[in-house]
Homo-oligomer: A and B are copies of this chain.
Amino acid sequence: MIIERVEAIPYRIPMRKPLHFASGAVHHMDNVLVRLTTDTGIVGVADIPPRPYTYGETQAGVVALLEGLFSDALMGADPLDRGRIHAALNRTVGNFATRGGVDVALWDIIGISLDTPVHRLLGGFTDSVRVSHMLGFAPVDEMVEEALRYREVYGITAFKIKVGRYPLSLDIDLCRALREALGTEAELYLDANRGWTAADAVRVLDATDGLGLTFFEEPNDAKEVLGRRRLVQLSRIPIVADESAPSLGDAAREVQTGGATALSIKTARTGFTESQKVLAYAEALGLEVIMGNQIDTQIGSTATVVFGAAFAHSSRNPAELSNFLDMADDLIAEPIEISDGSVLAPRVPGVGVRIDPEKLARYRVDGKKD
């Protein structure tokens, strides 16, 4: 079985509700669907979300890479030879989301060809993952209302609060209001997307002490090296590296030098193969991981579910899966269902995503037809 077609399909879907956070906002999903077809007629797909402000990739750049250098490495290769394929892809620096997407699409083909769901091929630990919902910037009462509504409608009891604003009291009051409204049972944790200085982040930790927050993601810019380390040492809750640890090597560097005490793993940037390495590294060191969300579509979120369910260590904490609910639409044919606060891993062979051809035709922006 060899790959004989590599397609990069750029598409745009508006957000029903734009997501606002300390490092930016997302109004549209300008993503790329990667589609690999084998000589045996198997089609593997994955979603690639370019994030120019986080990793430097653009929609056009992703397409160019997939149709150029990456096509050269993929055409004629057997998807099972992924070690060899990755060695070729890894000659290109950066471009995490593009490489991650290719890896997920390769695994999709492998799963389909072996007639087995990928979460079972990867690790076979469990069949579902608990969901954490991300609360983007809005007036306090709206954010509280959203959290209560998501608990009511979807059974979600874990929330990631986007913070990182000034004055600090804005977010401190928000945390208090959410804890008060949700009670002690809800899991609440913070993500400042580098919005604060280390010193201010310590102030927030002090001011929110007693609220039972569980993690604090990217409180400040990791490049503020000494400040970050001082913060890590002072924090009683794990400091999560996310955009400062987009690859295995970056994760190791950040953790080994005292810049983080937990890791966010995103299949959108490290696929399954490298995510498995990051997970093993975290497990070796006893670091907790959170399955993160790259503001993923349902295609991308399904990949997160698949990986999260595969391993004990990746399924321990709730996974960030609900961003897709803010999108106006999706390319997926069968929507993800969140119920009782959890999502089931697909039981069908492969990663388990089917693309709706009509939606693809409607949202693709390359003017081509299937």
> Could you say which residues of chain B place their CB within 8 Å of the CB of A248?
280, 283-284
B87 close to A312 (CB less than 8 A)? yes
Q: Which of A121-129, A160-168, A179-187, A202-210 contacts B (4 or more CB under 8 A)?
A: A121-129
When chains A and B are docked, how far (Å) is the Cα of A126 from the Cα of B84? 7
Q: Does A151 contact B (CB under 8 A)?
A: no
Q: Does A176 contact B (CB under 8 A)?
A: no
> Could you say which residues of chain B place their CB within 8 Å of the CB of A84?
124-126
B120 close to A80 (CB less than 8 A)? yes
Choose one: B78, B125, B276, B281; the contact of A87 (CB below 8 Å): B125
> Could you say which residues of chain B place their CB within 8 Å of the CB of A283?
248, 277
> Could you say which residues of chain B place their CB within 8 Å of the CB of A114?
114, 116
When chains A and B are docked, how far (Å) is the Cα of A15 from the Cα of B290? 50
When chains A and B are docked, how far (Å) is the Cα of A124 from the Cα of B113? 15
Q: Closest CB-CB distance, A358 to chain B, in whole Å?
A: 34
Q: Does A174 contact B (CB under 8 A)?
A: no
* Identical subunits present: 2
> Could you say which residues of chain B place their CB within 8 Å of the CB of A81?
120, 124-125
Q: Which of A23-31, A232-240, A249-257 contacts B (4 or more CB under 8 A)?
A: A249-257
When chains A and B are docked, how far (Å) is the Cα of A312 from the Cα of B91? 14
CB-based nearest B residue for A115: B114
When chains A and B are docked, how far (Å) is the Cα of A82 from the Cα of B157? 29
When chains A and B are docked, how far (Å) is the Cα of A43 from the Cα of B363? 49
When chains A and B are docked, how far (Å) is the Cα of A248 from the Cα of B287? 13
B277 close to A124 (CB less than 8 A)? no
Q: Does A285 contact B (CB under 8 A)?
A: yes
Q: Does A13 contact B (CB under 8 A)?
A: no
Q: Closest CB-CB distance, A38 to chain B, in whole Å?
A: 15
Q: Closest CB-CB distance, A13 to chain B, in whole Å?
A: 34
Choose one: B277, B278, B285; the contact of A252 (CB below 8 Å): B285
When chains A and B are docked, how far (Å) is the Cα of A256 from the Cα of B82? 30
Choose one: B80, B124, B251; the contact of A80 (CB below 8 Å): B124
> Could you say which residues of chain B place their CB within 8 Å of the CB of A286?
252
Q: Does A310 contact B (CB under 8 A)?
A: yes
Q: Does A324 contact B (CB under 8 A)?
A: no
Q: Closest CB-CB distance, A125 to chain B, in whole Å?
A: 3
The answer to whether residues A310 and B124 also contact, given A277-B283, A283-B277, A284-B277 and a CB cut-off of 8 A, is: no
When chains A and B are docked, how far (Å) is the Cα of A347 from the Cα of B252? 35
A83 close to B312 (CB less than 8 A)? yes
> Could you say which residues of chain B place their CB within 8 Å of the CB of A87?
125, 312
Q: Closest CB-CB distance, A120 to chain B, in whole Å?
A: 4
B252 close to A83 (CB less than 8 A)? no
Choose one: B78, B121, B276; the contact of A276 (CB below 8 Å): B276
A252 close to B284 (CB less than 8 A)? yes
The answer to whether residues A82 and B124 also contact, given A87-B312, A114-B114, A116-B114 and a CB cut-off of 8 A, is: yes
A-B contact pairs, 23 of them (CB 8 A): A80-B116, A80-B120, A80-B121, A80-B124, A82-B123, A82-B124, A83-B126, A83-B310, A83-B311, A83-B312, A84-B126, A87-B125, A114-B116, A121-B121, A123-B273, A248-B280, A248-B283, A252-B285, A252-B286, A277-B283, A279-B280, A280-B280, A281-B281
Residues of chain A having any CB pair with chain B under 8 Å: 78, 80-84, 86-87, 114, 116, 120-121, 123-126, 248-249, 251-252, 256, 273, 276-281, 283-286, 310-312
